[in-house]
Amino acid sequence: MRDETDVLHRLSTLDRFLPVWIGVAMAVGLVLGRTVDGLDDALSAVEIGSVSLPIAIGLLVMMYPVLAKVRYDELGHVTADKRLLVASIGLNWVLGPALMFALAWLLLPDLPEYRTGLIIVGLARCIAMVLIWNDLACGDREAAAILVAINSVFQIVAFAALGWFYLELLPGWLGLDTSSLDVSVWEIARSVLIFLGIPLLAGYLTRRLGEKAKGREWYESELIARIGPAALYGLLFTIVILFALQGDTITNRPGDVARIALPLLAYFALMWGLSMLLGHRLRMSYERTTTLAFTAAGNNFELAIAVAIGVFGVTSGQALAGVVGPLIEVPVLVGLVYVALWARRRFDWNRSTS
C-alpha cells in the first residue's frame, strides 16, 4: 500500500504550490496593468480570430502537455467495465453541466458574465489534473487514463453543442433572461477546434512518435517530465495578461471574486460526493469509485479559459470566472484526496466488488 499520510509531499513542487503560483501571477498582472501604458493595444496588434497572438500562444502551450499525457491507445479497453463507462459519461456530460448551470443561475442571477463563465467551466471536463488527484488517492490509474482519453475526444464533438444548449436554448425554454448574451455555436466550436483540436493533434502525434521511437517508459518518465511544466507556464502567462487587462475591474469589485468562488465550491463538493455514493452503490472497488469521483468533479480549466477568451475576449467577466476556477479547484480537490483516503480506511472499502 502506498503512503497515505503525506499527500502533499507526493505532489511535485509546481503542483503543490499551484494556488500560490496563480496568486503570484494575478499580482504580477495587476502591477503590469497599473504601470504599463498601451498594453491592450500592443497585445491586439496581431490576432488569431479574436484572440491576440501572445495570448493564443499561451493558451496552446497550456493545453499541449496536458494532451500529450493521454494514453489514446487505451480507448479500446473501455468495455472492460461498462458500469464505470456509463456512470462516467452520465456524471461528466449530463449531471456536471446541468449542476453548474443550476448553481450559476441560483447564486449569480444578477451577474450574467460570471454566470456564463461558470457554465463554460462546467462544460469543460477534466483531462489533466485528475490524473494527479487520482494517483494521490490511490485510484485506478488505467481506468483514469481511459476516462481522460474519452473526455478528450468527447469535448471535441460535444462541447459546442452543449454550450449552445446551456447558454442559449435551455435558458430560453425556462424563461430566463438571455438578452445580454449573444453567442453562436460556431464561435464556441471555433475556439474548441483551435485551442483543443490543435494541441490534441500535437499531443497525439507526440505520444505516437515518442513511444514508437523509444518506448512508453521513456516517453512517460523522461519526455513528459520535460514538457509537462510548460502547461503551468502557459497558464500563468495567460493569467498575468488577463489580470493586467482586468486590473481595475478586479480591484474595484473584489466581492465578485468571492461570489464566483461560492458556486465553484458547491459544485466540486456535490459532484465528488455524489460520484463516490454512486460508485459505492454500484459496488465498484474503492480504486474505480475514486477514479469516477475525481474525473467527474475536476474540470478542464485550461479549455474553459481558452473558450472564454476566444469567444468573449480577455477582458470579459467570463474569462475572469474561468481563472478563478483553478484557484478554487486545486485546494478543494487536494482536500478531497484526504477525504477519499479516510473513507477507504473508515469503511473498509476494499471489500467492495470490482
Is a pLDDT exceeding 80 seen at residue 19?
A: no
CA distance 187 to 184: 5
pLDDT at residue 178, rounded to an integer: 66
DSSP assignment of 280-340: HHTT--HHHHHHHHHHHH-B-HHHHHHHHHHHH-TTSHHHHHHHHHHHHHHHHHHHHHHHH
Q: What is the pLDDT of residues 30-88, one digit of tens each?
A: 888 878 877 777 776 666 656 677 878 887 887 788 788 877 776 655 555 688 889 99
CA distance 314 to 326: 17
- Summary mean pLDDT of the chain: 82
Q: Which of 5-9, 262-266, 346-350 has the lowest mean pLDDT?
A: 5-9
Is residue 33 within 8 A of residue 247, CB to CB? The reply is yes
Question: Rounded to the nearest 10 degrees, what angle do helices 185-192 and 141-164 cross at?
Answer: 150
Q: What is the pLDDT of residues 94-120, one digit of tens each?
A: 999 999 999 999 999 989 999 999 999
Is a pLDDT exceeding 50 seen at residue 354?
A: no
Give the gyration radius of the chain's Cα atoms: 20
CA distance 232 to 248: 25
Q: Name which residue leads in pLDDT, 173 or 54.
A: 173
pLDDT at residue 238, rounded to an integer: 80
What is the reported pTM? Answer: 0.79
Is a pLDDT exceeding 80 seen at residue 24?
A: yes
Domains of the chain: 12-351 (1.20.1530.20)
Among candidate residues 171, 162, 209, 165, the one with its CA nearest the CA of residue 303:
162
CA distance 92 to 212: 32
Q: To the nearest whole percent, how much of the chain has pLDDT over 90?
A: 25
CA atoms within 13 A on the CB side of 14: 12
Among candidate residues 351, 349, 236, the one with its CA nearest the CA of residue 4:
349
DSSP letter at 47 equals E
If you average pLDDT over residues 306-328, what whole number do you get? Answer: 83
Joined grid coordinates for residue 145: 487514463
Q: What is the pLDDT of residues 231-250, one digit of tens each?
A: 888 888 887 887 787 766 66
If you average pLDDT over residues 317-335, what whole number do you get? Answer: 84
